[in-house]
Structure 1
Amino acid sequence: MTLKAMAHGRYILNFKGIPPLPADDMKLIRSKTQLVDASRKTLLVEGNEETVMNELARKLPQWTVSKESCYTVPTTRPAVQKPPKS
């Protein structure tokens, strides 16, 4: 098994229907991934990106699946443009 086949990523699953989340869908999601966090209509899961996430996207038409994006927070400290002359 290659390293790429074993790679896990974090994904956001967003339910497009009306809550509560369907029990059958949740059972399938929990059997294929590891649930990290959940809110009213959104789940954060970890899973194998090539096989499991594509399978979930096909089997769950009321859900959107997208890869988690992380951004660095920019600094708000003022930066010195030119050092002072000695």
Structure 2
Amino acid sequence: MEETGLKRALYDLVYKILKDMLSEAIKLSVERFDLEKDMFDRKEIARRNSMSMSTAERDLFSDPRMIAIERKKKNGKCYYDAEKAKKVCKEIIDGWDG
């Protein structure tokens, strides 16, 4: 009986350690992926801020700070420097009441 309890405790400990290690590895991979991107398009910015495109258009892309960092191709597609876009989006969202 006691041996079963020890096995279960050991199993729980190993499970927790592996779960924490996997979570950390996933977090680091996501951070590394974020660092690899130099530019974001509007769709990516909306996704990263959990917004629909219409909400992002209204609340983010019409803001003069976002317009200032926007780079537009001839076909109309807009791109934003990833680091600047993250900073500007945070400034805009931090400025909301709530």
Give the TM-score, by structure 2 length: 0.31
Greater RCO between the two (CA within 8 Å, min separation 6)?
A: 1
More helix by share: 2
More strand by share: 1
| Structure number with larger C-alpha Rg | 2
Give the TM-score, by structure 1 length: 0.34
